[in-house]
Amino acid sequence: MRLNHFNMLLGTLVTLAAFVTSFLIHGLFIRPGLMNEVRDQQLMEVKALKAGMNFFSQPLSTFSHDYGVWDDMVGFIQSPDPDFIESNLYDDAFVAAGMDGAFLFDTNGKLVWRYQAVPGLLPDSLESQAVWIGPVLPDAKAVSAESASTRRGIIRYGSKVMFFSNSNVLPSNGHGNVLGSFMVVRLINVSLTDMLKELTLVESSLSLANPRLHGRLPILEEPVYIDDVAQSHQWLVKDVFGAPAMVMTVQHHKSDVPSFISRESIVIFATFMVVLLLGSVPLSLFVLTPLGNINRVLVKMTTRGRLTKINQSFFIDELHRLTGSFNQLADMLERHQNYLESLSFKDPLTGIANRRGLEAFASRAHQEWLDGKGALGFLMVDVDEFKQYNDSQGHTAGDKALLSVAQTLLIECRRRGELVTRFGGEEFCVVVHGDDTLQMERLAERMLHRVRELAITHPSGQFGYITISVGGVLFEHYDPQFADTSWQDMLVMADKQLYLAKSEGRNRVCVRFMQAARLMKTVG
Ligand SMILES: Nc1nc2c(ncn2[C@@H]2O[C@H](COP(=O)(O)OP(=O)(O)OP(=O)(O)O)[C@@H](O)[C@H]2O)c(=O)[nH]1
């Protein structure tokens, strides 16, 4: 895998890890807390509504008790008197108290007197409604207890739902014969809903319950519990008989279910990203980038085929040591390479450059000459009558003689731009890239003399000691008229001059000067 791909993968994993972690933290710790907050708020609203409803039903109890536990009411139930109604049970009093109906029953449930703001609040006869005895009307137990008691709650009768409060009628000391009951009712309608909203500041509505809703909606009773956060909740309110009376719908103020992509989760995610990115900066700075740099150097090295050192210091010790070891290895390889290269460019017998060395040096010198730098000359040097020497002195002596000649030539050609090479057998080639051709000619002459001065005995030779013949071609500074002359052409020209030197008697220099103004002279 490439380093930048690894970097990308690492970045993706880091982002993914940050995302998953923030998602988990938000989902497991923060969101439930937020949900609870919203749920608590919604519960408070429902409880406030319940309290509000209690508040509106409370005065009914006071009212029914005040009327029920009253000696005059005891007298009235025993003998109903229109004057009593006129002076004590007048409609305005009930309207002013917010009551929609008031009913006086005897202990059998027989209606003695009634007031109702709207007709049909209760069945005309409760005597026959056994189900009302107990929950609404005083039963035998309440009668025999001979004490004041009040039943209260919600009654649904047809399409009307109302709060009711029904108190025993008995003497004003609150004890004695129970003669009946006094009941007041208050309709639960739109006006009550409006008042409830003003009181509790909670948006709600009350509607008639459909009996089919029974079992589908939660019942509004203690303890109130909300298990899902929603925009609105509905509660079924039962009446005193246990039947569905109305549905209370609560529109919640706070109903935003905290989603997973919330401000909090984004902040957590961003925090994680920042932390992880800050953590990955040193990794990138001290490990990945240096590795990338090392890789670049190595790739450059392999594409160019040249050993290069990594001259950088790294903060991480291991990387620093790695590059140190690599540089040592590169050094070793370079030395080894140089050694092998030098071997391949050297003639094993004489230790001077071989033909490969000649080619490399000659082509470079020729190119520089083409670029207008200096003069260029090739001198072909051949040992005279060497076959006879070998034949008479033996091959080993021949080798030694060749070595001596090579070293002599080498000593004479030590200046920059000069190279002695073994061309093959007993033949040498000297490349001279210098300032002027006269110096080159003088070099050829010197070589001739120095070999002679070696005075290696050559009994069968015509001079009695080993001599050489030199043929050369010396080109002055480059001129376009030499454009077609390669260094190999120059070599051929020098060889011809050597042939000339041999044919003219050996032990001599024969060079040809090449100038732009044509051939000048031949020295024999
Ligand atoms: N000892 C020895 N002899 C070599 C080596 N290379 C070539 N020779 C000999 O050099 C001799 C060259 O002989 P020729 O080419 O006939 O030339 P020559 O005898 O020098 O005659 P001219 O060049 O005409 O003066 C041969 O006998 C080769 O065997 C070498 O590495 N060592």
| ipTM of predicted complex | 0.98
| Summary mean pLDDT of the chain | 89
Mutate to test the pocket of ligand 1, among 384, 390, 423 (most ligand atoms within 8 A of CB): 390
* Minimal-distance CA residue to ligand 1 atom 8: 425
Question: How much is the pLDDT for 294?
Answer: 82
Q: How far is the CA of 349 from the centre of ligand 1 (A)?
A: 14
Q: How far is the CA of 345 from the centre of ligand 1 (A)?
A: 22
Which residues lie closer than 8 Å to 335 by C-beta, 6 or more apart? Answer: none
* Minimal-distance CA residue to ligand 1 atom 5: 425
CB 467 within 8 Å of CB 384: yes
Q: How far is the CA of 339 from the centre of ligand 1 (A)?
A: 30
Q: How far is the CA of 402 from the centre of ligand 1 (A)?
A: 10
347 lines ligand 1 (CB under 6 A): no
* Residue 496, both tokens: 């011809």
* Minimal-distance CA residue to ligand 1 atom 21: 385
- Burial class of residue 9, CB neighbours in 10 A (0-12, 13-18, 19+): exposed
Give the model confidence (pLDDT) of 194-209 as tens digits.
Answer: 998 999 999 999 899 9
Confidence of residue 499 (pLDDT cuts 50, 70, 90): very high
229 lines ligand 1 (CB under 6 A): no
Give the model confidence (pLDDT) of 470-491 as tens digits.
Answer: 999 999 999 999 999 999 999 9
Q: What is the model's pTM?
A: 0.51
Give the model confidence (pLDDT) of 393-434 as tens digits.
Answer: 999 999 999 999 999 999 999 898 999 999 999 999 999 999
| Nearest atom in ligand 1 to 469's CA | 25
Instruction: Provide the 8-state DSSP code for 292.
Output: H
Report whether pLDDT(445) > 80: yes
| Nearest atom in ligand 1 to 397's CA | 1
Buried-state track 97-120, b at ≥16 Cβ within 10 A, e below 16: ebbbbbbbbbbebebbbebbeeee
Q: Cβ atoms within 10 A of the Cβ of 139, count?
A: 14
425 lines ligand 1 (CB under 6 A): yes
Question: How much is the pLDDT for 523?
Answer: 54
